[in-house]
Amino acid sequence: MSGNDDNQPKVTGPQVIADAQKRAPKGPGVYRMFDSGGDILYVGKARSIAKRIASYTRLGGQTNRIARMISETAAMEFVSTQTETEALLLEANMIKRLRPRYNVLLRDDKSFPYILIARDHAAPQLTKHRGARARKGDYFGPFASAGAVNRALNAMQRAFLLRTCSDSVYESRTRPCLLFQIKRCAAPCTSEISLDDYADLVGEATRFLSGKSRSVREDLGKAMEQASDALDFERAALLRDRLAAMSHVQAHQGINPGNIEEADVFAIHQEGGQFCIQVFFFRTGQNWGNRAYFPKADAALDAAEVLQSFLAQFYDDKPCPRLVLVSHALPEGDLLAEALSARAPRKVEISVPQRGEKRGLTDHALTNAREALGRRLAESASQNKLLQGVADAFGLPEPPKRIETYDNSHIMGTNAVGVMVVAGPEGFEKGQYRKFNIKSADLTPGDDYAMMREVLTRRFTRLLKENADEVNGERDAAWPDLVLIDGGKGQLSAATAVLEELGIDDVAVVGVAKGPDRDAGREHFFMPGKESFRLESRDPVLYYLQRLRDEAHRFAIGTHRARRKSAMAKNPLDEIAGIGPTRKRALLMHFGSAKAVSRAGLSDLEATPGINRQMARLIYDHFHEGSGGA
């Protein structure tokens, strides 16, 4: 193909799909649709791929969303699977990984905390866990928040007296710690309890967290009565306190079902073109918290479709309980239950309760979803009003969809960092924040203008590369409408000079200078070609701009402190080839500090255990460059 042909616009639309249908598998699998730039538009699954995509070969009768997707399709790819169940699981995984424009997208999918009873030690540890399950042990959860798991851990300590200390602390104990004194730990570290008896406590805790809380409580109740009858009042009191702690786990859970040991409850509410899904976690008959999600989905989609796609993605990397209660009947609920059962060690049931206690749970979740979405819509309306005010204040043609605020931080030029924080219609977008370690070797320490030039040059050079293949002049969502610089006329000049050098003339740049005596509310704003100006002291737009600047300042200070702490933690001995942990420890034990090592003579270094003459010379030469001898 000639170079001229490469520049020809690619064919898109129903004809492309019709051509792809000729080679599409007739069995189950997953199909992907791409636009002319190679970006993925949609991931779908089907019992018969060929039959499914046949419905895309015409534009008539489609919803606006599907019609747009078809018209943009320039290529398709297929993956065959053995069953439709496998296709559903693969589809969910691909959607989460590839984030196609026209799919329902699960947003804010932070990892959940779990309780872990670690089994890699003779005395298992009770601890909070988040992330990959690399450690051997029993995991219980998920909990909706760190606060929920911390409360449960606190009560579990009092109920079962399991250790929460690290293995290194455990091994170094010579007498029981404070937790033993306040009856929060049985102290296996100093043999206050035998490992066999401690294993019994671990077994009780495991049963309790596995849904057998009632039998554990009954056993402890009987043991307490026996101790009381035997006049062993100290043991009876200990068992009484443990039973009270178990009750405390449930007493602070809010709504607690009487007959449901393990279930996840999902409810979806749709309003104002947005969706909110509320999920509650119930384990061992206890409410382990709830969380609201706001999936990205086309407003024309049915709530049940959105909920089904959300559930498939939600359980892609999480264990599924035996029972999933939902507020809406799912289009393919049986297929989803089959797919989740295939991944779980037990059968999973998806149910839409019609009455009774389970219906009360879904109704409660639906109320929470409705209220959460109402709050979000109110915040969104307020945010849109503020963005319109920003546009009016700075003479922008329309409210900005993406505002980037930049700031620097350093101490006398050391550990210099620049940061970028991002805000838009949905508030601060913390996943878009960026840190820039200042790298320029020829930069004068403390030169704030040069730092800002470096940060903006790196940022916009990368943006230009990412948008090199822009179609019809359209840039992606990462391109800002407004750039705020923390500083006055000098910083503004540095910023505009960078953009001019890069040929960028469609980004508004504003410098925000602190007021006299650094007073908030008296800021001056600088724009190219205009006199500096101020906003009314009680203008909500001014408060909003102050929040943007303060967030950038907070992020810059935090980033600088983290870098400074990291630099302080570095040891000059680490830079010497051949000095590993053992020799480093020997040197520090012998001299007391790295500074003392750097001042030591050759003979002193040779006297260090484990350091021979050759290594001593290497260390001495490292700290006495060009000395030529001792």
As a whole number, mean pLDDT of residues 615-628 equals: 74
578: left (phi over 0), alpha (psi -120 to 50) or beta: left
Q: Is 63 inside any structural domain?
A: yes
**Residue 85 pLDDT greater than 80, yes or no:** yes
> What pLDDT shows up at residue 402?
93
**Residue 488 pLDDT greater than 50, yes or no:** yes
> What pLDDT shows up at residue 252?
44
* Those residues with Cβ within 8 angstroms of residue 532's Cβ, 6 or more apart along the chain or in another chain: 488, 489, 513, 524, 525, 526
- Residue-number span of the structural domain to which 13 is assigned: 3-98
283 and 430 in a common domain: no
3-state DSSP percent of the chain in helix, strand and coil, to 5: 45, 20, 35
Secondary structure of 119-151 as H, E, C letters: CCCCCCEEEEECCCCCCCEEEECCCCCHHHHHH
Regarding predicted confidence, which is higher, 569 or 577? 577
> What pLDDT shows up at residue 558?
86
**What is the sign, positive or negative, of the torsion defined by CA atoms of 598, 600, 606, 611?**
negative
**Residue 452 pLDDT greater than 70, yes or no:** yes
Q: Do the beta carbons of residue 414 and residue 438 sit within 8 Å?
A: no
Least reliable range by pLDDT among 25-29, 234-238, 278-282, 402-406? 234-238
444 and 336 in a common domain: no
> What pLDDT shows up at residue 194?
93
308 and 247 in a common domain: no
As a whole number, mean pLDDT of residues 308-323 equals: 90
Q: Do the beta carbons of residue 415 and residue 560 sit within 8 Å?
A: yes
545 and 413 in a common domain: yes
As a whole number, mean pLDDT of residues 213-232 equals: 77
> What pLDDT shows up at residue 199?
93
**Residue 96 pLDDT greater than 60, yes or no:** yes
DSSP H or E segment with residue 81: none
Which CATH number is 600's domain given? 1.10.150.20
**Residue 512 pLDDT greater than 60, yes or no:** yes
Q: How confident is the model at residue 3 (pLDDT cuts 50, 70, 90)?
A: very low
Q: How far is CA 524 from CA 76, 403, 512, 535, 549, in A?
A: 53, 18, 6, 8, 13
284 and 234 in a common domain: no
**Residue 629 pLDDT greater than 60, yes or no:** no
**Residue 423 pLDDT greater than 70, yes or no:** yes
> What pLDDT shows up at residue 627?
47
Least reliable range by pLDDT among 150-159, 459-468, 513-522? 513-522
**Residue 46 pLDDT greater than 90, yes or no:** yes
Last residue of a domain, one of 190, 218, 251: 251
Mean pLDDT in the chain?
85
409 and 542 in a common domain: yes
Least reliable range by pLDDT among 138-142, 171-175, 472-476? 472-476
Residue 105 gets which letter from DSSP? B
As a whole number, mean pLDDT of residues 488-513 equals: 91
Which CATH number is 444's domain given? 3.30.420.340
Which CATH number is 14's domain given? 3.40.1440.10
**Residue 187 pLDDT greater than 90, yes or no:** yes
**Rounded distance, CA 149 to CA 60, Å?**
52
**Residue 2 pLDDT greater than 50, yes or no:** no
> What pLDDT shows up at residue 412?
63
Which pLDDT tens digit goes with each residue over 317-343?
888 888 999 999 999 999 999 999 988
> What pLDDT shows up at residue 427?
86
As a whole number, mean pLDDT of residues 9-30 equals: 88
Strands (E), 39-104: 40-46, 75-80
**Residue 344 pLDDT greater than 50, yes or no:** yes
> What pLDDT shows up at residue 254?
47
244 and 277 in a common domain: no
Q: Is 107 inside any structural domain?
A: no
Q: Do the beta carbons of residue 126 and residue 117 sit within 8 Å?
A: yes
Which pLDDT tens digit goes with each residue over 243-264?
776 765 554 444 556 577 789 9
Q: Give the rounded percent of residues in the chain with a pLDDT score beyond 90.
A: 40
Tell how far CA 480 is from the center of its chain: 23
Q: Is 506 inside any structural domain?
A: yes
> What pLDDT shows up at residue 570?
61
**Rounded distance, CA 189 to CA 171, Å?**
7
Q: How many residues does the chain have?
A: 630
As a whole number, mean pLDDT of residues 10-22 equals: 87
**Rounded distance, CA 517 to CA 511, Å?**
18
Last residue of a domain, one of 41, 74, 98: 98
Last residue of a domain, one of 251, 278, 300: 251
Q: What is the pTM of this model?
A: 0.67
563 and 422 in a common domain: yes
Measured at the CA of 50, the angle between CA 47 and CA 51, to 5 degrees, comes to 70
**Residue 212 pLDDT greater than 90, yes or no:** no
514 and 435 in a common domain: yes
Q: Give the rounded percent of residues in the chain with a pLDDT score beyond 70.
A: 88
Give how many domains the chain has, as a whole number. Answer: 5
> What pLDDT shows up at residue 516?
55
**Residue 5 pLDDT greater than 50, yes or no:** no
**Residue 218 pLDDT greater than 60, yes or no:** yes
Q: How confident is the model at residue 269 (pLDDT cuts 50, 70, 90)?
A: very high
267 and 227 in a common domain: no
> What pLDDT shows up at residue 127?
92
Which pLDDT tens digit goes with each residue over 115-134?
999 999 999 999 999 877 88
Q: Is 74 inside any structural domain?
A: yes
- Residue 579: CB atoms within 10 A of its CB come to 21
**Residue 303 pLDDT greater than 50, yes or no:** yes
Q: Which of 342, 305, 344, 300 is nearest to 326 (CA)?
A: 305
Q: How confident is the model at residue 559 (pLDDT cuts 50, 70, 90)?
A: confident
**Residue 521 pLDDT greater than 80, yes or no:** no
> What pLDDT shows up at residue 630?
42
> What pLDDT shows up at residue 441?
64
181 and 124 in a common domain: yes
> What pLDDT shows up at residue 567?
61
177 and 121 in a common domain: yes
> What pLDDT shows up at residue 470?
56
Residue 431 structure tokens: 């996943």
